[in-house]
Structure 1
Amino acid sequence: MQRPYFHSGQGMIEFLIITPVLLLLVFGALQFALMYQAKTALNYATFEAARAGALSNARTSIIENTFARGMAPVYTHDDTVDEVEQARERVRRDIMNGLVIFEMINPDINAFNDFGFDLYDDGNIYIPNDNLMYRPVNTGSTSGLTVQDANLLKLHITYCYPLYVPFVNQFIIRLMKNVPNADEPWNAGIPLSGTSNETCLKSRSPDDDRWMDTLKPDVQARFPLHAQAIVRMQSPAIQPPSAGMGSGPSIIWTGGTF
């Protein structure tokens, strides 16, 4: 009687096929769990920054310091004072390296042009915050807002979050670098120049010359996380210097003004 014929190596082939997929799923779940934790902290830190800004004339330095304090738990692994200080300093370094982009959506430049004046004779432009109930409700000629609307502080903060999980981090970054953009929504391409996404996705990868112009030599590609918060001003908003990215009326800054 002839013995049945068996094919050898079938298990190895199946293993080689399923292993990359399994690793992508497991590592991807871990990476997105870390990203969700960071996004939760970012939401809280953005709200805290907006609340602190509302109490302190929307000063950029106060907003930055409060944001650094709010994001510190992402990098804190125990309850020692040194650990907390190191975590806060790490976020401050990210701010100084341009990896946190602050945008004051409201009040914007147009609102300061319509309602701002030298309230305290100190050379700074403020939007008045007192007696809003009795102030006129006429809209400004350039902003289209009332002075009451101009006293709502709205912040949009982008944090360039580092991806830690191997294999998945490069996979996500390469996907992000080749998503459709506003110029060519039907095609894959580089994120629009001057946007916060481009700032986060700049990489020093030697096989991608398009992304060699990094902000700092030690900066690697990161994933952009976004959060917004809006609160009512409790003090007169002071006009900060507008700089950085964008061509709209929003006040955008990066690099730190500590």
Structure 2
Amino acid sequence: MFQPTAAPPRTPDGASLLSRSGVHHLDVRRAATFGARLRGLMLRPPLAPDAGLLLADCPGVHTAFMRCAIDLLYLDRHGVVLKCVADLRPWRASDSRAGRDAAGRRHRRAAHTLELAAGSIARWQLAPGDRLRHPLWFAPAAPPPRQPGRRQRGAALIELVVVGPLLTMMGLGVTQYSQLFFAKNQLNHATMLAARAGSVGNASIDSIKQAYAAGLVPLFGGGSNAAELAESLANARKSVDENAYVDMLNPTKEAFADFNDPALQATLKTGSKRVISNRGLAFKSQQVGATSGETIQDANLIKLRIIHGISPAVPIVGRIYKAYLQWQDTGEDPRMTNLISKGLVPVVSHVTLQMQSDAIEPATPTSSPGAGNGGSPTDPGDPPVTSQPPPDCPQGSCGESPPPTPPGDGGYCQAPIVTNLSADTLFGFDQANLQISGILQLKSLLASARGQHYDSLTVTGYTDQIGSDAYNLDLSRRRAQAVRDYLIDNGLVVDHVDVVGAGAT
């Protein structure tokens, strides 16, 4: 095929198109063998405006793997145009007999097909009855005698048999990619739920895994009743236990060493497990830890990485995925190698959230000394200093009026305190009884209250979106009542308590 550059000099016996708009000279390459027709313009540059490709003994074409649209002229044995097809886009197919002409008659079967650059039909005003002339290819009157054994019957069918399976494999590949894309979205959502449970659950790995499995229920079928949901949850937990790896990248082992709070460790009765305080971070020093390379504010970020193996659901393509992943696997990560050896596709999800509770050291914390400093943590120095004067609003609320002062009180009204606790940490799936991780969280909340007296308390319970609205509303109210009972029974002093169930809203 010719590149879209300056055309070589033409000879008097070259190919030309005879039309009502005039004579148009062409540089035409002829594809007369099966291999040449099969290749055609696939993966080739676009045709030049005055170039063409003649597919001999070919009454139909496809445009798979082509880079741009083309125009088609279907010709008879004499080179006369039988049918014009303009602007045939990539990944389409065309046949000379498809459709009917202006008189309502079905098109004749063509002998040859001429492929032209898109727009040629409109530019030269081509129509049926025009003619491609070349003295070596077309006789002026009767067709030339054919040599025995040279006619290729069924060539278009053979090409379809060759290209069809390839197109089928591409369709299966797209379907498999769509399945993995959906799974990736669900895994990302479940990872976010896991991080949220860890942020309010003292960075407990068990709470993280339970919340992650609950977030995967839709991926394993979901359900419309309690039995179906329990079955999906069991399958999700089994998959997490067998095919998932949960890494808590932060807080690190070095962060627990730098910022352990012995007093809080004794209050929470964690034994030998160290604790990083989540209280009053805005007022704490931003000094970089000696071994972690972090500040205490950095140490109060929970960072998760979850590697989950997903089974390819599309036949045949799954084997191709497995072979490709095995070829790409370097063996540096034995967990990846293990998942690939099972025929699974490893999907990695990351998430980072601010801790909402005191972080309790897990059994095997991740070690990452001096992140970003090659194991030698350095102090980045003081923050930049500005010479601009501070805003004229010492209350920190420029443009807003201070809150009203109640009669007989010399200060402002105390702002209400709002605390969000994860239902995944407080309760098990579809449960309203407090679990151990939830009791620890409520103990931490009571410790922060420090015996103060409160006027009112509102406890609002929530659920996920699984289940009916009526069921979720009742479950959320029972959960809120359980939290209220525990707080009151364990010393919270409050005059009035409201219990609200919000369901899945």
TM range (shorter): 0.7 to 0.9
What is the match of residue 234 of structure 1?
356
What is the match of residue 215 of structure 1?
none
Q: 1:29 aligns with which of 174, 178, 188?
A: 174
Q: Distance in 2 between matches of 1:247 and 1:22?
A: 49
Instruction: Say which structure, 1 or 2, has more relative contact order (CA 8 Å, 6+ apart).
Output: 1
What is the deviation of 1:79?
2.4
1:46 aligned to 2:191? yes
3-state secondary structure, aligned to 2:278: coil
What is the deviation of 1:12?
5.0
Residue 176 to residue 242, structure 1, CA distance change in 2 (3 Å): same
1:108 aligned to 2:269? no
3-state secondary structure, aligned to 2:196: helix
- Do 2:201 and 2:357's aligned partners in 1 also have CA atoms closer than 8 Å? yes
Give the letter for the 2:347 counterpart.
Answer: L
What is the deviation of 1:77?
5.5
Q: Distance in 1 between matches of 2:182 and 2:257?
A: 39
3-state secondary structure, aligned to 1:89: helix
Q: 2:233 aligns with which of 80, 88, 102?
A: 88
Q: Which has the higher strand share?
A: 2
Give CA deviations for 1:60-84 in whole Å, capped at 9, x if unaligned: 1100000001111112164233222
Structure 2: unaligned runs, 5 residues or longer: 1-143, 370-505
- Do 2:252 and 2:367's aligned partners in 1 also have CA atoms closer than 8 Å? no
Q: Which has the higher helix share?
A: 1
What is the deviation of 1:10?
2.8
Q: TM-score, normalised by structure 1?
A: 0.77
What is the match of residue 193 of structure 1?
332
Residue 43 to residue 221, structure 1, CA distance change in 2 (3 Å): same
Residue 107 to residue 59, structure 1, CA distance change in 2 (3 Å): same
Give the letter for the 2:300 counterpart.
Answer: N
3-state secondary structure, aligned to 2:305: strand
3-state secondary structure, aligned to 1:149: helix
Q: Trace 1:118-137 onto structure 2 (pairs within 5 A).
A: 118=262, 119-121=264-266, 122=269, 123=271, 124-137=273-286
What is the deviation of 1:56?
0.6
Give CA deviations for 1:212-231 in whole Å, capped at 9, x if unaligned: xxxxxxxx310011111111
What is the deviation of 1:247?
7.4
3-state secondary structure, aligned to 1:178: helix
3-state secondary structure, aligned to 1:192: coil
Q: Trace 1:67-216 onto structure 2 (pairs within 5 A).
A: 67-76=212-221, 78-97=223-242, 99-118=243-262, 119-121=264-266, 122=269, 123=271, 124-179=273-328, 190-202=329-341
Give the letter for the 2:320 counterpart.
Answer: F
Q: Distance in 1 between matches of 2:280 and 2:223?
A: 46
Q: Distance in 1 between matches of 2:227 and 2:176?
A: 27
Identity %: 29
Larger Rg over CA atoms: 2
Give CA deviations for 1:195-250 in whole Å, capped at 9, x if unaligned: 54223212xxxxxxxxxxxxxxxxx310011111111111111111228xx9756x
Give CA deviations for 1:26-51 in whole Å, capped at 9, x if unaligned: 11111111111111111111111101
3-state secondary structure, aligned to 2:265: coil
- Do 1:127 and 1:238's aligned partners in 2 also have CA atoms closer than 8 Å? yes
What is the deviation of 1:116?
2.0
- Do 2:223 and 2:232's aligned partners in 1 also have CA atoms closer than 8 Å? no
- Do 1:191 and 1:197's aligned partners in 2 also have CA atoms closer than 8 Å? no
Structure 1: unaligned runs, 5 residues or longer: 180-189, 203-219, 250-258
Q: Distance in 1 between matches of 2:368 and 2:172?
A: 39
Give the letter for the 1:20 counterpart.
Answer: P
Q: Distance in 1 between matches of 2:204 and 2:361?
A: 8
Residue 88 to residue 78, structure 1, CA distance change in 2 (3 Å): closer
Q: Distance in 1 between matches of 2:210 and 2:227?
A: 17
Give the letter for the 1:60 counterpart.
Answer: I
Give the letter for the 2:294 counterpart.
Answer: L
Q: Distance in 2 between matches of 1:26 and 1:247?
A: 45
Q: TM-score, normalised by structure 2?
A: 0.41
What is the match of residue 256 of structure 1?
none
Residue 77 to residue 240, structure 1, CA distance change in 2 (3 Å): closer
Q: Distance in 2 between matches of 1:67 and 1:78?
A: 18
Q: Distance in 2 between matches of 1:88 and 1:116?
A: 36
Aligned Cα root-mean-square deviation (Å)? 2.4
Give CA deviations for 1:116-154 in whole Å, capped at 9, x if unaligned: 244232212111111112222111011110111100111
Give the letter for the 1:241 counterpart.
Answer: A
What is the match of residue 14 of structure 1?
159
1:222 aligned to 2:366? no
The 10-residue stretch of structure 1 (131-140 or 72-81) with the greater mean CA deviation from structure 2: 72-81
Give the letter for the 1:131 counterpart.
Answer: G
What is the deviation of 1:53?
0.6
Q: Distance in 2 between matches of 1:248 and 1:135?
A: 23
Q: Distance in 2 between matches of 1:171 and 1:41?
A: 24
What is the deviation of 1:24?
1.4
